[in-house]
């Protein structure tokens, strides 16, 4: 595997950054996870828009232009002969000194990994996943906007640990007010009386690119969509429930906290949106191989 670091490519064993990089020392930086389908990078422009917004929000100047980032991502896929997989594009604050001040870091570090990925086994997509409500609440938007896709994922990691220890596939995170925020790495949707609902970003949800794509697909299918606060009660009584994420795609949910949701199988709307999403990813994206 070849890893891109600051304009050069390195074999995996030689791909290293400094121990004084503030991305390592403090989780100071931003990243994007991007999918590759059939030799095309899906929604690359949207991911680069979000990366730039995250960087701007944390006063991090991207050291590369949009065009240069695009070419670096494409070339990393080429070097690894990747046709289907996952790109991790990371921008750290860069090498500095011990201490929190970002102004000691002279230049951000950029690295890109392009590899294969399988987040959940195939049977989860056929039968649905098990959600577990975790005690770790989502970081308050008053502390850090959920729209910043930062390198500090400890909040999500602790929630994931709870979910796995409880025997779940994924953890459902609430905010301080008790409303659903998101899962540890995915957005949440429910269907109630023909309307698709998903938490607003003000509840602590990331403005996910797959989330928006599914909202657009639902609109094309004539399914009303609303961003709205809801609780576990609404999931327990939902007609359908599913998750969305770049790596996960569209994943049906069959139960929450051992309570079966709508017969314990993927519902027709979920199944239709899964189908539409796969069709979209199969034919759209930035070409890697001209």
Quick: pLDDT tens for 154-204: 999 999 999 999 999 999 999 999 999 999 999 999 999 999 999 999 999
- Report yes or no: 163 and 186 within 8 Å, Cβ to Cβ: no
Verify whether residue 149 is a known catalytic residue.
Answer: yes
Q: What is the pLDDT of residue 47?
A: 98
Q: What is the pLDDT of residue 262?
A: 84
Q: Which of 86, 248, 88 is nearest to 183 (CA)?
A: 248
pTM for the full predicted model = 0.94
From residue 233, give the alpha-carbon distance in Å to each of 93, 188, 190, 253, 261: 41, 14, 11, 15, 11
Question: Which residue among 149, 160, 192, 278 is the active-site one?
Answer: 149
pLDDT in tens, 123-164: 999 999 999 999 999 999 999 999 999 999 999 999 999 999
How many residues in total does the chain contain? 290
Sheet of strand 109-115: strand arrangement: 8-11, 2-5, 109-115, 85-92, 29-37, 40-41, 286-287
The tally of CA atoms less than 13 A away on the side-chain side of residue 157 is 4
Q: With a cut of 50, list the residues of the chain below it in pLDDT.
A: none
Domains and CATH numbers, the chain: 2-115 (3.30.470.10), 122-282 (3.20.10.10)
Q: How many angstroms separate the CA atoms of 223 and 217, rounded?
A: 9
| DSSP string of 27-83, one letter each residue | --EEEEEEEEETTEETTHHHHHHHHHHHHHHTT---SS-HHHHHHHHHHHHHHTT-S
- Report yes or no: 41 and 22 within 8 Å, Cβ to Cβ: no
What backbone torsions phi and psi does residue 67 show, to the nearest 5 degrees? -65, -40
């Amino acid at each position: 595997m070849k890893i891109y670091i600051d304009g050069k490519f390195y074999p995996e064993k030689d791909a290293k950054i400094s121990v004084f990089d503030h991305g390592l020392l403090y989780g100071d930086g931003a990243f994007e996870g991007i999918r590759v389908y059939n030799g095309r990078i899906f929604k690359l422009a949207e991911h680069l828009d979000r990366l730039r917004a995250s960087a701007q929000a944390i006063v991090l100047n991207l050291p590369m232009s949009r065009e240069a980032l695009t070419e670096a991502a494409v070339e990393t896929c080429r070097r690894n002969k990747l046709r289907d997989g996952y790109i991790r594009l990371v921008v750290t604050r860069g090498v500095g000194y011990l201490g929190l001040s970002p102004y000691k870091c002279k230049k951000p570090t950029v690295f890109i990994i392009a590899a294969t990925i399988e987040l959940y086994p195939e049977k989860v997509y056929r039968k649905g996943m098990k959600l577990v409500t975790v005690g770790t609440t989502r970081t308050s938007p008053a502390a850090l906007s959920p729209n910043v896709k930062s390198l500090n994922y400890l909040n999500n990691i602790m929630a994931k640990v709870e979910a796995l220890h409880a025997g779940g596939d994924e953890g459902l995170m609430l905010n301080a007010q008790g409303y659903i925020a998101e899962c540890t790495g995915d957005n949440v949707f429910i269907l109630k009386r023909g309307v698709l609902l998903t938490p607003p970003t003000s509840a602590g949800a990331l403005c996910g690119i797959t989330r928006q794509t599914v909202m657009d697909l639902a609109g094309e299918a004539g399914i009303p969509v609303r961003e709205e606060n809801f609780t576990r009660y609404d999931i327990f009584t939902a007609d359908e429930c599913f998750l969305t994420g770049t790596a996960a795609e569209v994943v049906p949910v069959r139960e929450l906290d051992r309570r079966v949701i709508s017969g314990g199988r993927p519902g027709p709307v979920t199944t239709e949106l899964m189908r539409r999403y796969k069709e979209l990813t199969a034919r759209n994206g930035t070409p890697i191989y001209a």
